A and B are shown apart, each in its own frame.
Chain A
């Protein structure tokens, strides 16, 4: 059930009415029932996967919490009669016991994800290397499997680390895993952020619901007016690589960057808006990423919940594990302080970006995409002394608007260039196509009417230009606080005129009908 489909809007309307009609103590149960209906809509057999992850994670976490509580109680009762070494040994033994259910659950669920998502990638590589002809398994990918698996495993790791106790209620935990607005494409929520707002009672709050509906409409605008319209041109450019080389590749690069931004942030706007309508506050997943001054900042502001998940559960544990600390010590001794201390950081960064690439898709283009991001981050880090020297030498330059614009433009171009690997899904072809930008010299395409042969009319390009300008203005306005709060402070006629313009523009300019197909969200496939 696509967010932009009529059946979803009908489903949402029914859920909304029931949610504020049922006794408040049953609201979370209604959300759970609705989430399973939503999930089963994609195919009832897919429920088996999400139920397995839910059940095993709930059981393992409860088991871990029970053992931790027993160990803490025993230690408290016997603390006085134990030496420091004995206490330490008891704690180590206790940790070892909790590690068994933890690892079993982690391996089972990551194993399911790996088998479903990566078996065919593995087979294709084996066939390519050994010349075999092994048949592909072609598993159907359950909706949102990467998102709900990561969200559940984050919960399991936190419980194992003793950050919070496990949730006792299977139903409440099931809702945390399957909450329908976010199960499709995130955000990847943390249990301690989401639990309270998800389970508490929510009285009818007109302002909150109105803000939620505004956010949903804004998401619809980005998705239907901008992203799905751009999709037509991007598809034409990407699916015919031999016909569109040189400047067309550069055009595809920038159009895809804007399309992906409008599609993904639009989807997240809808997600957060839908949750808000039900009184549930989800964490933000974007913070105006295209205003970032460098790549590291961009990745702190784009798909934030994925970035922090990888940071907290992969980057930090790898970076501070004993073998890495030993490597750090050895490399400092052998290579000197300056170079030696970089080795573990860069090695962990490379591992994380390899996994991030793989998470995005089971193919080499995503792995190369991840490694290129890693390369850019490391090179930026190595250039730090140069930037420090430059800003010391020319202190005024760095503070000018033009320098900041240059930084933002540089980051946008760099990120767009790496993203093109998403499009062609073929590494040699991508590099060949990008190479033609520098050799073809067909810069006239921007003025000779070629843009009108990409499936979009002059009117479509005008709608896209206005849509992007509106998105830019909203982002600029958002830097100094919530745009919806600012709108709410305007006089009633101004406010309602703006709501009306937004609503009508979605109806009139949304990409529907012949030539357009309300498309799947790009991030659903991840």
Chain B
């Protein structure tokens, strides 16, 4: 989780990713950010997030994103 928070904070240092759960709904993350996050996750966790998983529910909070990473790691 720490590594994920580092990836997110590097993009938006002003956001409290530990508590915020409206990253997409409040338009804090845009599509550029999402792709940056996915490529960073791919480098850091060696997990590929497929396009069909790019939905608000998976990107609205750091926790949801971490759950997605764990689920995809599990499937691998």
Binding site for B on A (CB under 8 A): 88, 161-163, 296, 300, 311-312, 315-317, 319-320, 322, 325, 328-329, 332, 341, 344-345, 348-349, 381
Q: Identify B39's interface contact among A162, A312, A344, A349, CB under 8 A.
A: A344
Q: Identify A344's interface contact among B27, B35, B51, B54, CB under 8 A.
A: B35
Known interface pairs A325-B42, A332-B43, A341-B36. Does A311 touch B31 (Cβ–Cβ under 8 Å)? yes
Q: Identify A325's interface contact among B34, B39, B75, CB under 8 A.
A: B39
Instruction: Say whether chain A's binding surface is mostly helix, strand, loop, or mixed.
Output: helix
Distance in angstroms from B12 CB to nearest chain A CB is: 10
Beyond the given A320-B48, A329-B42, could you list 17 further A-B residue pairs with CB under 8 A, ordered by the A residue number?
Answer: A88-B75, A161-B51, A162-B52, A296-B32, A311-B31, A312-B54, A315-B31, A316-B31, A316-B51, A319-B35, A320-B51, A322-B48, A325-B48, A328-B39, A328-B42, A332-B43, A344-B35
Give the chain A neighbours of B30 by CB distance below 8 A: 296, 300
Question: Which 9 pairs from chain A and chain B are nearest by CB?
Answer: A161-B52, A328-B39, A317-B51, A316-B51, A319-B35, A345-B35, A316-B54, A325-B42, A320-B38
Distance in angstroms from A225 CB to nearest chain B CB is: 34
Mask for B9-31, Cβ within 8 A of A = 1, else 0?
00000000000000000010011
Complex contact B43–A328 (CB within 8 A): yes
Complex contact B35–A320 (CB within 8 A): yes
CA distance A345 to B51 in the complex (A): 14
Give the chain B neighbours of A325 by CB distance below 8 A: 39, 42, 48
Residue of A320, A341, A344, A348 most packed against chain B (CB within 10 A) = A320
Say whether B65 faces chain A, with CB atoms less than 8 Å apart.
no
Give the chain B neighbours of A316 by CB distance below 8 A: 31, 34-35, 51, 54
Q: Which residue of A lies closest to B50 (CB)?
A: A320
Distance in angstroms from A351 CB to nearest chain B CB is: 12
Distance in angstroms from B48 CB to nearest chain A CB is: 6
Give the chain B neighbours of A163 by CB distance below 8 A: 52
Q: Identify B32's interface contact among A320, A332, A345, CB under 8 A.
A: A345
Say whether B68 faces chain A, with CB atoms less than 8 Å apart.
no
CA distance A322 to B36 in the complex (A): 15
Known interface pairs A296-B30, A329-B42, A329-B43. Does A348 touch B51 (Cβ–Cβ under 8 Å)? no
- 9 CB contacts below 8 A, A to B, read A296-B30, A319-B35, A319-B38, A320-B54, A325-B39, A341-B36, A344-B35, A345-B36, A381-B32
CA distance A317 to B50 in the complex (A): 7
Q: Which residue of B lies closest to A163 (CB)?
A: B52
CA distance A300 to B31 in the complex (A): 10
CA distance A328 to B48 in the complex (A): 12
CA distance A328 to B39 in the complex (A): 7
CA distance A329 to B35 in the complex (A): 13
Give the chain B neighbours of A381 by CB distance below 8 A: 32
Distance in angstroms from B33 CB to nearest chain A CB is: 9
Distance in angstroms from B70 CB to nearest chain A CB is: 16
CA distance A345 to B38 in the complex (A): 10
Give the chain B neighbours of A300 by CB distance below 8 A: 27, 30
Q: Which residue of B lies closest to A343 (CB)?
A: B39
Distance in angstroms from A88 CB to nearest chain B CB is: 8
Distance in angstroms from B38 CB to nearest chain A CB is: 5
CA distance A312 to B53 in the complex (A): 10
Give the chain A neighbours of B43 by CB distance below 8 A: 328-329, 332
CA distance A319 to B54 in the complex (A): 11
CA distance A332 to B75 in the complex (A): 27
CA distance A510 to B52 in the complex (A): 46
Q: Which residue of A lies closest to B49 (CB)?
A: A320
CA distance A311 to B31 in the complex (A): 8
Say whether B58 faces chain A, with CB atoms less than 8 Å apart.
no
Say whether B61 faces chain A, with CB atoms less than 8 Å apart.
no
Complex contact B35–A348 (CB within 8 A): yes
Distance in angstroms from B71 CB to nearest chain A CB is: 14
CA distance A349 to B30 in the complex (A): 13
CA distance A184 to B23 in the complex (A): 35
CA distance A345 to B54 in the complex (A): 15
CA distance A317 to B48 in the complex (A): 12
CA distance A88 to B72 in the complex (A): 12
Give the chain B neighbours of A329 by CB distance below 8 A: 42-43
Give the chain A neighbours of B42 by CB distance below 8 A: 325, 328-329
Residue of B30, B31, B48 most packed against chain A (CB within 10 A) = B31
Distance in angstroms from A388 CB to nearest chain B CB is: 9
Give the chain A neighbours of B50 by CB distance below 8 A: 320
Distance in angstroms from B7 CB to nearest chain A CB is: 10
Distance in angstroms from B17 CB to nearest chain A CB is: 18
Distance in angstroms from B16 CB to nearest chain A CB is: 17
Give the chain A neighbours of B31 by CB distance below 8 A: 311, 315-316
Give the chain B neighbours of A317 by CB distance below 8 A: 51
Q: Which residue of B lies closest to A344 (CB)?
A: B39
Give the chain B neighbours of A345 by CB distance below 8 A: 32, 35-36, 39
Residue of B35, B36, B48 most packed against chain A (CB within 10 A) = B35
Give the chain B neighbours of A332 by CB distance below 8 A: 39, 43
Known interface pairs A296-B30, A311-B31, A381-B32. Does A341 touch B52 (Cβ–Cβ under 8 Å)? no
